[in-house]
Chain A
């Protein structure tokens, strides 16, 4: 056992000795499983295409864990060069002054071309500061979609030629599933993201003032509007009738769809990788459901996923390496390959066109659903969401929504409470980041 271990260790020392001419770029990420392999392959490909820099991807746990690790490392002066931060952490990263080098700046400084306009608006807008500068590099963007177990729908007598697209249609389909004896007709993952955030932009309705916080830190939650109340009330009723079965916070519902326990669920488009691997039934993907009587719906859904941040305080040569890597990731061909492999969005229009030209969408029906939800022109209300202390606000959303699903609170009470508790946190964030 010991001897086996010694060999690679020795080999590594030799490698390290020969590779010293290269500048190492540390990249902390949160991609595990199939997506972890993907990140490894990206690094391998980049490292083989040039010799000046060496990207070293390091898995640092979940998104929140890697961010906490980076905060600790930064305070100790050992931050990585590149940090992958989930969309929820965007406001925190932007507000922390002197922590990052804007992606746009690091690329321009290194002499690379950077055109924010080539990006899908809903993606670039999300990561662009109020002064118009793109702060982080869009890496893996997903959005909210609806997944269907086609076999289960067929068995319940729901038409699968035209999948349910609106909430009334979803409710109807759920009722049929229930009548046919299905135990879990509909569920959802990431309830705050799918049922409040994306729901808002999809209906061109504000979740928070100031363009959902995109225009300033003095934004406040307004997600207790009549439309929001109507939707949560609807879901609450569905829960009481057994049409919607709550399966837990974050991505917990994913396993119940993949196992066939639940027939329909809203989740990230990036659930594709897991579903295509695990589901033993025919599945389909549709747009996020909407209310057809709401003017302006459907607008566009909001992104999830993560972006890459260049950490400040590094040597010029290292910054150049980061820029070179970002430049590599900007290649539409690379982006198209990544999109096809993971189900994450093609982040530029060019990458979308290349993917379309390769007939990928025709061969894999439904894979373009998420893209079409996103590549529309965004509005003030749908551009994105940028709220401070958002990890905590998401938890508040979980806590209050659970009370509705359990029948302990009305939709109005729960949403009012989210607004009240959330706004306390927003005020606090504004104060903490004032100077």
Chain B
């Protein structure tokens, strides 16, 4: 094994590299490609719940989605939700990490408290926030009521959206925070100090020195948070609004979950997951093509 100058590892053996990546390859095949392939296959099927009569239905499942106005509507809902979750999640944790980086004493306590929410399951996070925001018994709803705001997540779409965004962001902040904090700490002190000596303010140092050096982290988190908002938030929606009022918080992945696991319409659910997969792959490709160019490694 030789480490060449451009960081590439060169193996002399023909089989060793394959053996070394085999475990990871197996996991990726068994848990990603195989289910994805199944979903793709199922999306062309129409079957009863128990799988007793399975028929090839071509693009019927997709055509049905196309005809469903509410499905098209939920693209807008999902876009709004994802932008809010990724945007707020990343910027808030960047702020938190920025300040945590400057804390001198008790950093471990500060850090642990911020990481804690990551250990909470999405459904539990949803229920916690639902308790706070529930119109009848919630503490936040009670306080808002004192200020003359009639809080009602059951019928007010903006309120319901606010709730699921807060719960989803809260859950993801810890993860983002960890990466940003590591990013801040890996920036050589000398660079920041040199800027300070040159008379740069805290804000200028952040904007011109630290942030450009953080762009790899920022880019990574952008991809991860987009995927998170698209795929991993159905537990929160199911535990809080169940897609309501109307369909105003029914993001795409929630409908995949509901149609597949509650309503047992596997063909329709598979078609939706294929669409969702395509969107996320597309978004990730876009991010790598256009945004990654602005990243300094």
Contact = CB atoms under 8 A, between A and B. Distances in A.
Contact of B52 (A99, A248, A256, A406): A99
Contacts, number: 97
Interface stretch (A118-126, A320-328, A371-379, A427-435): A427-435
Interface string B256-281: 00110111110110000000000000
B265 A96 contact: no
Interface in B46-75: 46-53, 55, 57, 60, 64, 67-68, 70
Contacts of A47: none
A97 B246 contact: no
Contacts of A402: 154-155, 244-246
Nearest to B48: A96
A432 B264 contact: no
Nearest to B51: A75
Interface size classification for chain B: 35 or more
B171 interface: no
Interface residues of A, number: 40
B49 A96 contact: yes
A71 interface: yes
B50 A75 contact: yes
Contact of A406 (B50, B156, B243, B268): B156
A391 B262 contact: yes
Contacts of A71: 49-51, 264
A67 B64 CA distance: 25
Interface string A217-257: 00000000000000000000000000000111100000110
B247 interface: yes
B162 interface: no
A408 interface: yes
B155 A246 contact: yes
A247 B263 contact: no
Contacts of B265: 389, 392, 428
B258 A97 contact: no
A365 interface: no
A85 to B, nearest CB: 11
B201 interface: no
Interface in B212-265: 242-247, 250, 258-259, 261-265
A250 to B, nearest CB: 8
B208 interface: no
A406 B155 contact: yes
A392 B259 contact: yes
A74 interface: yes
B48 A92 contact: yes
B246 A68 contact: no
Residue from B55, B157, B243, B265 whose CB has the most chain A CB atoms within 10 Å: B265
Contact of B243 (A261, A399, A421): A399
21 contacts: A67-B49, A92-B264, A98-B52, A246-B154, A246-B155, A247-B136, A247-B154, A259-B136, A261-B136, A392-B258, A392-B263, A398-B244, A399-B243, A399-B244, A399-B250, A402-B245, A403-B246, A431-B46, A432-B48, A433-B53, A434-B53
Given A96-B48, A395-B258, 15 more contacts: A64-B262, A71-B51, A92-B49, A92-B264, A96-B49, A96-B50, A249-B244, A256-B136, A391-B262, A392-B258, A392-B263, A395-B243, A431-B57, A432-B46, A433-B53
Interface of A: 64, 67-68, 71, 74-75, 92, 95-99, 246-249, 255-256, 259, 261, 389, 391-392, 395, 398-400, 402-403, 405-406, 408, 421, 424, 428, 431-435
